[in-house]
Amino acid sequence: MTTSINTWSVGAGAYSNPTTESTGTGLGQEDFLQLLIAQLKNQDPLNPMEGTDFTAQLAQFSSLEQLFGIGDSLEEMLSIQSNNGTGDVGYLLGKVIVAEDDSLTVNGGLSSSANFTIEEDAAVSISIFDSYGIEVKTINAGSLEAGTYSVGWDGRDDSGVSVEDGSYSYEVSAKDSSGLPVSTYTVVSGEVTGITYEYGAPYLLLGDQMVSAGSILEVHMPETATDSES
């Protein structure tokens, strides 16, 4: 059965900026100015610095000062971008998201929800792999019209035995009536129950399943009891 959801779309990205600490060995503005003054005080009176040389050193000092200013501005901009990209995902708690993802989680013998979209009518098969990349299940979904569908895996392998709890992935293959490949993409949907971070990047928790905040395609409010009854 085709899944149809009215949603509004949102993009979320993650940006990580490595910080740079001063080692104390670089030449700062004060050092440069002190060296220039010392050079002027100790120059040979019989062979003073040429005007062009002095002008060139002043130009270097001016360039150095501008570079320090630019560096400070860039650091501030990157800090703002980092905060916008990774820190502002709290509003997604309690929302239902749709994200591009090919992962599945089995917990207590039950598989997490997963979906796929085909852009044209096609014959579809779904392959499910364990964390080692070994195929454990093949699902022949048959001929489907263009649209979005649920994977509908029961958590069992090709022999009918329940697989172990853990992380899995899936791949969708679709071909048209001429046997030519049809474009597909895999998506996961669910209510955001928590937020975690790995290497500074935010991940949304859909129960036990982690989804990158940067892979979000859609966000919408969860259905209420009134909505489901109407």
Chain segment 38-67, per-residue pLDDT in tens: 766 666 566 655 556 656 666 666 665 666
111 bridge partner residues: 106
pLDDT at 77: 46
Amino acid identity of residue 48, one-letter, is P
pLDDT at 227: 56
For the stretch 62-100, pLDDT in tens is 665 666 555 555 555 444 444 444 457 888 889 998 888
Amino acid identity of residue 140, one-letter, is N
For the stretch 107-163, pLDDT in tens is 998 998 888 999 999 999 999 999 999 999 999 999 999 998 999 899 999 999 999
Quote the CA–CA distance of 70 and 63 in Å, as a whole number: 10
pLDDT at 89: 82
DSSP letter for 26, please.
Answer: S
For the stretch 163-200, pLDDT in tens is 999 999 999 999 999 999 999 989 888 899 998 888 88
Amino acid identity of residue 132, one-letter, is Y
* Strand order from edge to edge, sheet including 8-9: 8-9, 216-220, 96-100, 184-191, 115-118, 147-150
pTM score above 0.95: no
Whole-angstrom CA distances from 85 to 23, 97, 108, 216 are 29, 17, 34, 13
96 neighbors 191 (Cβ within 8 angstroms): yes
Q: Which helix (H) or strand (E) holds 198?
A: strand 194-198
b/e burial code for range 86-98 (CB count within 10 A of at least 16 → b)? beebeebeebbbb
The SS3 call for residue 153 is coil
220 — pLDDT class (breaks 50, 70, 90) = confident
Quote the CA–CA distance of 113 and 158 in Å, as a whole number: 19
User: Would strands 147-150 and 115-118 be described as parallel, antiparallel, or unpaired?
Assistant: antiparallel
Of 179, 203, 1, residue with least CA distance to 101:
203
Quote the CA–CA distance of 77 and 120 in Å, as a whole number: 44
DSSP letter for 119, please.
Answer: S
